[in-house]
Amino acid sequence: MGKPIINIKGITRDFPLGSEIVKVLKGIDLTINKGEYVALMGPSGSGKSTLMNLLGCLDTPTGGIYNLNDKDVSQMSDDELAGIRNKEIGFVFQTFNLLPRTTALDNVALPMVYAGCKKAERDSRATEVLTQVGLADRMDHKPNQLSGGQRQRVAVARALVNNPSIILADEPTGNLDSKTSIEIMNLFNEIHANGNTVILVTHEEDIAAYAHRVIRLRDGIIESDNVNPNPVT
């Protein structure tokens, strides 16, 4: 296992609610090493989504330190966080978040547009990752011409296109049937086997079973953090 890629100390996140302050995260300490495959679980209100937003640099903590690849991102500006998200983190969402009038190839290439890459480079890399996820014959299709599983594969390819440090997947099978869910989870196994760090946010035990480590939150703290001795392969 590699060196720590995520190291958070004493992370808190408070939200104002009227005249009160709601403490959602209450001092989280967590280290995730490069190349790990982690599932983040917890019931509604546990702080799971808030922690995911912090890990994904979509939000900043109220207190504590978040080091990502040896960079302290806990105090970064919105513009700095946007740069970190583009370079360091590949996102996969339950609802795919694809541009509806845009081909699979151009959807996948989009993060490279934001990174300032030239079109030839974008198209070459997008073609490479779409082939990797089994969609070499669907590159010119738009989302409404693809099945749910194919759309999620496009989303996975988009997450991979900038060679991010981390793949962060939020309920990636939530809109898929059982058979397609297994196909997508097998794809995440392949991605992890290729050396990517994968963080999977889920409330489903059968999906968390693919991860090698399962972290459970409850009431804003880590309730348990265990190695999965028999991950689904």
pLDDT at 114: 87
pTM over 0.85: yes
Which residues of the chain fall below pLDDT 70?
1
d(CA 199, CA 171) in angstroms, rounded, equals 11
Per-residue pLDDT tens for 151-178? 999 999 999 999 998 999 999 999 999 9
pLDDT at 115: 87
CA distances from 6 to 68, 136, 209 (A): 5, 33, 22
pLDDT at 2: 74
Contact 16, 46 (CB under 8 A): no
pLDDT at 196: 93
Beta sheet of 4-17, edge-to-edge order: 20-33, 4-17, 63-68, 71-72
pLDDT at 74: 87
d(CA 136, CA 166) in angstroms, rounded, equals 24
DSSP-derived letter for residue 144 is G
pLDDT at 1: 57
Contact 231, 37 (CB under 8 A): yes
Extended strands (E) in 2-62: 4-17, 20-33, 37-41
d(CA 228, CA 107) in angstroms, rounded, equals 34
Sorted by where each begins, the domain ranges of the chain are: 33-62+78-227
pLDDT at 215: 98
Q: Taking the domain 33-62+78-227, which CATH number applies?
A: 3.40.50.300
Helices of type H across 116-177: 119-132, 148-160
Closest CA to 88 of 156, 165, 154, 160: 165
- Token readout for 69 is 């690849």
